[in-house]
Amino acid sequence: MRIPSASPSGAVVNFETHCTEYFHPSVLGYILRNRAAYIAKQTHGTRALALGVREELWKISAAAISASCNLKPQTSATLLLSFAKTGQPFPELVKALTAHFDFDNATPKAIALTLNAFARQPKVLQDVDNRFWEGLYDGINRVVAEFSPCDTCASAFSITRILAANKGRYLRHSDAPLGDLARKTLGKVYTTMLTYTEHMLTTLDVHAFTTRDLTSILQAVYESKMEVPKIVIRVLERLKKLIPTSACGIDDTLHTLGLLPPPDLVGDTIEMKRIKRDIARAEKGFVEWSFDFLMEHLECLKDRELARIAAACNRLRSWSSDAFAISFAEAWERLLRKNVEIPPSSLSQGACYFLRRYEASVSKELAAEGDAEQQNASHVSDVCARIGEKLHQYALDNYSKHDLLRVEELIDVAEQCRAKRSAKQYQRPY
């Protein structure tokens, strides 16, 4: 029997065995795990699997079910994740592997991978055996001190997705895939993960977390709507230190900006209002830092990336400096000169940004006390008005009536939402 390599990236053979009838269950688990991981890698993102691939998955599933009581937790986790990546439901496999999941010997990585598998394929939640939920909390508490930042953040993010699936956000055709036991257990586990994350953010070096870890825990906190100001503030501070050294710094910045919610300072108590003000102050500081960081890279950004910056600024109602507004306008002008195709969704966000920035500059211009301050504000107003007119003209020349209507509707909404201007202020330039 030929045994595949531990790496699913290639069909390399490590060794051979000449067993004819029986061999150790670990060998079977080794074969099943690596073959399933290899198939998942080759078919990930494929909507329809070939008949031969589906038949092989059924064989792997049947073999894994027969040996489920002897499989190690890491093997079970890899199998669950691999089948989740293929998108094919195997209820009997999920039930068998979760029923015999050995939490006494489970590593943090195995638990994190299993939760990730459930988050990727919420349809299987209704097939998870109750014995898995009964042992999950104690199993995590047993090894919580061994969790790495990556495993902790991934587990917390997966739990938010699982709980969201139970509410019908990701799973529309099933009313209640989770029972009371599962929901309560996941709630306790999530609290444990957040507590340990806060501890690691306080004690570990700034480079102990990757930007992906930090954005995962930030997204988990926002989606769960839990008020944990220390985590949000420390994550944003660490991101400002890590992003400049990241190979994907621009994408990390845009992704984080996309996660930030609009400012919300409403609270039932004075303490709640104080907490929300602290969070809003940290988010505002990150947004301002992001604009300074991105200003150095505007020349190399495409229309969709520029639109993501504009959309974040519009959604967060954030202020951008005069220097950034001018550089941002120049970036859009370069796109227009290149005659690249700009989709309506991107152009409308840019037009809204420059409309809002024009309004702010006009207000600043009217309130200016000195000539120099007034001239600077007037220059920014002219720049925003000019690029706004060019974007609107591009829409008139290149978009269908339907797309043009969508752009103008979005601009009108932005115009209606702006602060009321006095009679001295100018009308909308475009």
Give the model's pLDDT for residue 177. 66
Give the model's pLDDT for residue 265. 78
Contact (CB, 8 A) for 206 and 242:
yes
Which helix (H) or strand (E) is 13 found in, with range?
strand 13-16
Which stretches in the chain have pLDDT values below 50?
A: 1, 8-14, 169-172, 175, 417-426, 428
Span 227-285, pLDDT tens digits: 889 999 999 999 999 999 988 999 999 999 999 998 877 777 888 888 889 999 999 99
Question: In 3-state terms, what secondary structure has residue 14?
Answer: strand
Cβ count near 282 (within 10 Å): 18
Report the alpha-carbon distance of residue 286 to residue 367 in Å, rounded: 28
| Two tokens, residue 109 | 């990585």
Give the model's pLDDT for residue 410. 67
Span 48-60, pLDDT tens digits: 778 888 898 999 9
Span 308-326, pLDDT tens digits: 999 999 888 887 889 999 9
Q: What is the 3-state secondary structure (H, E, C) of 224-275?
A: HCCCCHHHHHHHHHHHHHHHHHCCCHHHHHHHHHHHCCCCCCCCCCHHHHHH
Check: pTM over 0.85? Answer yes or no: no
